[in-house]
A and B are shown apart, each in its own frame.
Chain A
Amino acid sequence: MRKVYITGFGQTRVQEHWGRSARDLATSSILEALERAEVEGADALYVGNALGGELTGQEHIAALIADFAGLTGTEAVRVEAAGGSGGAAVRLGYIAVASGLQNVVIVTGVEKMSDLAGPAVEEALATSADEEYEGVQGLSPVGLSALLMRRYMHEYDCERRDFAPFSVNSHQNAVNNEYAMFRRPITVEAFEKARLVADPISLLDSAPAADGAATVVLCSEQVVGTRKRATVEIVGSASATDSVALHDRGNPLFLHAAHESVQGAYAQAGVAPEQIDLFEPHDAFAILSALSLEACGFASEGQGVRLAMEGEIGLGGSIPICTMGGLKGRGYPVGAAGVYQIIEVCQQLLGEAGANQVDAWVGMTQSLGGTGATAVTHILKGPR
């Protein structure tokens, strides 16, 4: 298996881009990434996109984006795994280069969500659940996550406000990220007072649906050899699944897919949790951050929330998370989120994270689909 490097990346700011379409956003990020990677084209384009058909009526989006990005003729395919689409697309690109079949691939995550009003977006998001058992009952991602959070609070004796540090941390880190949607801090008091969306989840522990596109360029060692710019290596890549329906899981508070994928990535990279300098989890809801921290071995079961309360997830903590704002602060363009995570870890490993810079050599991302039925984990190593 060959080594795989990230030689370029580009991203649009996450926000409600009322005047821009998915193809437009995607093209911006691709052109920026290609310029940085100093390549003009690629062997393939893998597009992470979760809801293009549901939200904009546009399927077949990979060929469309290839065409508009000036890559007409290039192999292009869309990868869909709900919220894990971006991570899954990166993994597909990784497999393509590592296998030796392709030398340069472009991985783009894109989601255009602001064309429809709130209820229609929620309906589309709900397609990530088990339609016949969950969706039909009216359960959407926020409802399912609320069930998880309620159970967590019951099992581990904590309160709603104990989850506040996750959102406070994300918003604080988003302040210095020019690509973030919410560049303003929030307080614990604001978190406590925020309007409930699905009790106990409030507006301030739900990542915002938004528009955005992010692109990374993956290259083989042979291509990188001629590049001068410092690059990041993907040293671990693994993906796993769990039952889609929450009720089919023996212990819903343990994310088995997240655990399986992280174990695969650790084994491949030859690292342990203690050697991970920063972690970008799938913080669509604060409860998912807590469960990811536990599944990945940063905290034991029931201790993820405590870890946040003790300040260990901050930029100076033992395991900084959401260092550029995470899904909560940077924003959550569903199928693009996993690619934004990869870029943010690259920024940290290359010393380009500005005021949010952490001392990092090894960073990890985890992209989840649904309530963790899909989990894709990547471990990246910087040039140091």
Chain B
Amino acid sequence: MMKPLRDVGIVGYGAYVPRYRITAEEISRVWKMGEDNLQLEEKAVPGLDEDTTTIAIEAARNALRKAGLDPDKLSAIWLGSESKPYSVKPTATIVAEAVGATPHTSAADWEFACKAGTEAMQAAIGFVGSGMAEYAMAIGADTAQGRPGDQLEYTAGAGGAAFIVGPKEESMAYLEGSFSYVSDTPDFFRRPGQQYPTHGNRFTGEPAYFTHTMMAVQQLMGDLGYDPDDYDRVVFHQPNSKFPKRVAQRLGFVEDQYRDGLLVPFIGNAYAASAALGLAAVLDKADPGERVLLASFGSGAGSDAFSFVTTERITRGRNPLPSVRDYVNRRREIDYARYARQRGKLVMY
């Protein structure tokens, strides 16, 4: 288990989900795939003027408001994403500039497929926990890609969530410990210059998602001496609706524990923001003194597991700041043609 020398916690968090939605039924109308693909209801689609940067900025601003923190107190802005607008040039500096955190700050982008956001969180915990920084922001944000007609078309969504790590005394949820588990498992990847990723079908399941997630969670819970029923709420990475439910059940959790954090049926897989948005949604609803488990998964492959306990401050700023559910419920349905335009899928060779 990993735990910093100095106790830390989440002092503020914020989320953002684009308003556009395409339903699974609409995708299936175009691609004529069978009913077994319709496990999601719909997914979030970024607008024409939205990308990972704008999504991250929205989430970061919400987090700063929630924390009531002056942005120039942030000593780091770290953004995890697999859909960075630039291959070379940090996205995090744009976010830092936009929220007013520059110039006395560290900023960088993180890459670890869907767990880049929680990897940034691990680093932020270390940064604050070591005393190098008072506050550090970790963001997961993505506008995920799926090749037209691929299974990923049903799931590749968009969204962002930002977390400000700071001293435990100021936290809304303090950290009990974390665990990271990684191996070289090439279940999903996108090479330079490729527009869409390649995935290994069932290989993305057992040896990748399930093995890594379960190892991280079991070892963290073992080190903390906790059983599944010690947790009030659990959140897993959500590449589809089957995997998070199945991994929860295998680990001994029940639906009451994971229901509030399961957003994938409504927004799709927001990649680096997937588990992070689930955590934000859970914190939106949690009462003080609740124990919350977060376990991300990133292809390539690895999982970060965290154990948090909410404090009296958890209800702070719930109104008027928008909740994750508010963003989920704010929806405008589009058809496949508009989706294709907004996602830049109309390319002639």
A complexed with B:
yes
Chain A residues packing against B (C-beta within 8 Å): 16, 18-19, 114, 117-118, 193-196, 203
What A residues does B200 contact at CB under 8 A? Answer: 117
What A residues does B35 contact at CB under 8 A? Answer: 193, 195
| Contact present for A194 and B34 (CB under 8 Å) | yes
As a 0/1 sequence over residues 184 to 214 of chain B, the CB contacts with chain A under 8 angstroms (1 = contact) are 0000000000000011111100110000000
For residue B36, CB closer than 8 A to chain A, the reply is: yes
- A323 to chain B minimum Cβ distance, whole angstroms, is 27
| Contact present for A117 and B36 (CB under 8 Å) | no
What A residues does B202 contact at CB under 8 A? Answer: 16
For residue B48, CB closer than 8 A to chain A, the reply is: no
What A residues does B207 contact at CB under 8 A? Answer: 18-19
| Contact present for A117 and B34 (CB under 8 Å) | no
User: What are 18 A-B pairs at a CB distance below 8 A?
Assistant: A16-B202, A16-B203, A18-B203, A18-B206, A18-B207, A114-B203, A117-B199, A117-B200, A117-B201, A193-B34, A193-B35, A194-B36, A195-B33, A195-B34, A195-B35, A195-B36, A195-B37, A196-B34
What A residues does B203 contact at CB under 8 A? Answer: 16, 18, 114
Alpha-carbon distance between A16 and B207 when the two chains are bound, in angstroms? 11
- B298 to chain A minimum Cβ distance, whole angstroms, is 18
What A residues does B33 contact at CB under 8 A? Answer: 195
Chain A residue with Cβ nearest B199: A117
Chain B residue with Cβ nearest A194: B34
- B206 to chain A minimum Cβ distance, whole angstroms, is 8
Alpha-carbon distance between A377 and B53 when the two chains are bound, in angstroms? 64
What A residues does B34 contact at CB under 8 A? Answer: 193-196, 203
Alpha-carbon distance between A18 and B199 when the two chains are bound, in angstroms? 14
Q: State the main secondary structure of chain A at its contact with B.
A: loop
Alpha-carbon distance between A285 and B33 when the two chains are bound, in angstroms? 20
As a 0/1 sequence over residues 201 to 232 of chain B, the CB contacts with chain A under 8 angstroms (1 = contact) are 11100110000000000000000000000000
Chain A residue with Cβ nearest B32: A196
What B residues does A193 contact at CB under 8 A? Answer: 34-35
What B residues does A195 contact at CB under 8 A? Answer: 33-37
User: Which among B199, B202, B206 has the greatest number of chain A C-beta atoms within 10 A?
Assistant: B202
Chain B residues packing against A (C-beta within 8 Å): 33-37, 198-203, 206-207
- B196 to chain A minimum Cβ distance, whole angstroms, is 12
Chain A residue with Cβ nearest B35: A193
What A residues does B199 contact at CB under 8 A? Answer: 117
Given contacts A117-B199, A195-B33, A195-B36, 8 further A-B contacts (CB under 8 A): A16-B202, A18-B203, A118-B201, A193-B35, A194-B36, A195-B34, A195-B37, A203-B34
Alpha-carbon distance between A114 and B33 when the two chains are bound, in angstroms? 23
Alpha-carbon distance between A118 and B34 when the two chains are bound, in angstroms? 18
- A194 to chain B minimum Cβ distance, whole angstroms, is 7
- A50 to chain B minimum Cβ distance, whole angstroms, is 20
Chain A residue with Cβ nearest B36: A195
What B residues does A194 contact at CB under 8 A? Answer: 34, 36
Chain A residue with Cβ nearest B33: A195
What B residues does A16 contact at CB under 8 A? Answer: 202-203
What B residues does A114 contact at CB under 8 A? Answer: 203
Alpha-carbon distance between A118 and B204 when the two chains are bound, in angstroms? 13
What B residues does A118 contact at CB under 8 A? Answer: 201
Alpha-carbon distance between A18 and B207 when the two chains are bound, in angstroms? 8
Alpha-carbon distance between A19 and B199 when the two chains are bound, in angstroms? 17
- A87 to chain B minimum Cβ distance, whole angstroms, is 28
Chain A residue with Cβ nearest B37: A195
Q: Across the A-B interface, give the 5 residue pairs with the lowest CB-CB distance, nearest first.
A: A195-B34, A18-B207, A117-B200, A195-B36, A118-B201
What B residues does A19 contact at CB under 8 A? Answer: 207
Chain B residue with Cβ nearest A197: B34
User: Which among A16, A19, A203 has the greatest number of chain B C-beta atoms within 10 A?
Assistant: A16
- A206 to chain B minimum Cβ distance, whole angstroms, is 13
User: Which among B33, B200, B206 has the greatest number of chain A C-beta atoms within 10 A?
Assistant: B200
Alpha-carbon distance between A19 and B211 when the two chains are bound, in angstroms? 14
- B187 to chain A minimum Cβ distance, whole angstroms, is 10
- A75 to chain B minimum Cβ distance, whole angstroms, is 36
What B residues does A203 contact at CB under 8 A? Answer: 34
- A146 to chain B minimum Cβ distance, whole angstroms, is 15
- A124 to chain B minimum Cβ distance, whole angstroms, is 15
Alpha-carbon distance between A19 and B183 when the two chains are bound, in angstroms? 14
Alpha-carbon distance between A21 and B36 when the two chains are bound, in angstroms? 31
Alpha-carbon distance between A172 and B90 when the two chains are bound, in angstroms? 56
Alpha-carbon distance between A16 and B198 when the two chains are bound, in angstroms? 18
- B194 to chain A minimum Cβ distance, whole angstroms, is 13
Chain B residue with Cβ nearest A196: B34
Alpha-carbon distance between A195 and B32 when the two chains are bound, in angstroms? 9
- B146 to chain A minimum Cβ distance, whole angstroms, is 14
- B142 to chain A minimum Cβ distance, whole angstroms, is 22
Chain B residue with Cβ nearest A19: B207
